[in-house]
């Protein structure tokens, strides 16, 4: 495989900024030496090699990458991240590891406890690659997406599209998809089950008889489907998010609630030991995208009818299902997961 990078030189002689950023990204990830050659597309010179190549391939934007296989076939990548994720990181694609016995998982959990979240996530990605899915919806989750992207190892991302999310959340999902140039599998509820619920109980039954039934259809069943294709998943859960329900989560644990593609499923909570302040410091320092609702007092963001902004001094989960007891403020995605044996 030979990779050619086409960089643009603007009509005023300046190099294109996006091309420089792409090169920097490749260098930062130690992948620059995987680029076989660089050709310039001079805006002012249609005969320059890069302009000629662009014309032949029908590509007008730069940078772009031409991957030429040993058999002569060619593939064009207009996104450096797509190139990295699909082609350059493939060399480091992990061989699917055998299932971890409980004792090995416990040992790994002990070893990884207290380590930096990026190390915990890398441990999982090196082991499972794209068979590890990042459950994405909020600020913590996009931190994981950023870390996975930095690791330059294959990974996958899924998101539970309950159909009741805020418009801002849909825009946030799209911003993350575009920023990291990744596929995000949007998991929708089973149509028949949802239609049945709405027909029987309307659109706001959770205010009358609790959120379990609606969350079960809109979140838990789609999650079960998503996890059924994976061998491990990573969540953005933190212990201090909920003293009532999350204080015991471990960085690495066996998921005792859901099953994966091969049966047992491993759950990573790389941010278990982080505080909200650490998450936001990470987001600010790296320019990571976030949901604009955070600027309006929303902290923990779920579905629109079940999320409200919190007041100063209120706990961050106080804005979720606020009409219910604090011990019930989980949507069924994380309940019933026993911590690993110590």
Number of residues forming the site for ligand SF4 (CB under 6 A): 13
Residues 134-163 touching ligand SF4, rule: CB under 6 A, are 162
Going by C-alpha positions, the residue among 37, 73, 40 that lies closest to residue 54 is 40
In the complex with ligand SF4, the residue whose CB is nearer, 238 or 329, is 329
Among 303, 310, 333, 337, binds ligand SF4 (CB under 6 A): 303
CA dist 90 and 76 (Å) reads: 17
Question: Scanning the structure block, which residue is given the tokens 């680029």?
Answer: 35
CA dist 169 and 85 (Å) reads: 25
Q: Does 306 bind ligand SF4 (CB under 6 A)?
A: yes
The distance of closest approach from Cβ of residue 201 to ligand SF4 in the complex, given in angstroms and rounded to an integer, is: 11
Residues 312-331 touching ligand SF4, rule: CB under 6 A, are 331
The distance of closest approach from Cβ of residue 215 to ligand SF4 in the complex, given in angstroms and rounded to an integer, is: 4
303 is catalytic: no
Among 122, 127, 146, 219, binds ligand SF4 (CB under 6 A): 219
In the complex with ligand SF4, the residue whose CB is nearer, 218 or 238, is 218
Burial category of 203 from C-beta neighbours within 10 Å (exposed 0-12, middle 13-18, buried 19 and up):
exposed
Among 206, 258, 282, 290, binds ligand SF4 (CB under 6 A): 206
Q: Does 172 bind ligand SF4 (CB under 6 A)?
A: no
Q: Does 238 bind ligand SF4 (CB under 6 A)?
A: no
Residue 8 forms beta bridges with which residues? 41
Among 62, 214, 283, 318, binds ligand SF4 (CB under 6 A): 214
Q: What is the crossing angle of helices 276-286 and 139-151, to 10°?
A: 50
In the complex with ligand SF4, the residue whose CB is nearer, 79 or 326, is 326
In the complex with ligand SF4, the residue whose CB is nearer, 215 or 265, is 215
Q: What is the crossing angle of helices 139-151 and 167-180, to 10°?
A: 10
Q: Are 152 and 178 in contact (CB under 8 A)?
A: no
In the complex with ligand SF4, the residue whose CB is nearer, 164 or 239, is 164
Stretch that binds ligand SF4, among 13-21, 83-91, 301-309, 334-342 (CB under 6 A): 301-309
In the complex with ligand SF4, the residue whose CB is nearer, 151 or 306, is 306
Q: Which residues are catalytic?
A: 331
List of residues contacting ligand SF4 (CB under 6 A)? 162, 164, 206, 211, 214-215, 218-219, 302-303, 305-306, 331
């Amino acid at each position: 495989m030979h990779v050619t990078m086409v960089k643009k030189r603007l009509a005023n002689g300046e190099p294109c900024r996006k091309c420089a950023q792409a090169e920097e990204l490749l260098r930062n990830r130690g992948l620059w030496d995987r680029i076989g050659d660089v050709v310039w597309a001079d805006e002012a010179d249609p005969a320059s090699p890069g302009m000629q190549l662009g014309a032949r391939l029908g590509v007008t934007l730069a940078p772009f990458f031409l991957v030429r296989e040993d058999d002569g076939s060619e593939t064009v990548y207009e996104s450096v991240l797509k190139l990295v994720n699909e082609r350059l990181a493939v060399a480091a694609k992990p061989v699917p590891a055998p299932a971890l016995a409980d004792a090995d998982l416990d040992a790994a959990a002990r070893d990884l406890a207290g380590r930096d979240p990026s190390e915990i996530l890398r441990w999982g990605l090196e082991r499972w690659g794209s068979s590890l899915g990042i459950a994405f919806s909020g600020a913590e989750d996009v931190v994981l997406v950023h870390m996975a992207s930095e690791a330059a190892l294959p990974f996958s991302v899924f998101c539970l599209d309950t159909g009741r999310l805020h418009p801002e959340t849909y825009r946030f999902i799209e911003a993350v998809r575009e920023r990291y140039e990744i596929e995000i599998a949007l998991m929708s509820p089973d149509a028949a089950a949802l239609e049945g619920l709405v027909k029987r109980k309307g659109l706001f039954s959770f205010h009358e008889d609790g959120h379990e039934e609606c969350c079960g259809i809109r979140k838990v069943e789609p999650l079960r489907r998503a996890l059924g294709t994976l061998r491990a998943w990573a969540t953005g859960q933190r212990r201090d998010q909920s003293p009532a329900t999350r204080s015991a989560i471990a960085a690495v644990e066996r998921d005792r609630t859901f099953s994966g593609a091969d049966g047992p499923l491993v759950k990573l909570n790389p941010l278990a030991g982080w505080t909200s302040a650490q998450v936001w410091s990470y987001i600010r320092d790296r320019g990571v995208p976030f949901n604009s609702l955070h600027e309006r007092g929303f902290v923990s963001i779920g579905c629109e009818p079940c999320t409200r902004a919190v007041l100063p001094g209120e706990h961050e989960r106080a804005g979720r299902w606020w009409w219910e007891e604090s011990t019930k403020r989980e949507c069924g995605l994380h309940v019933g997961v026993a911590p690993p044996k110590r």
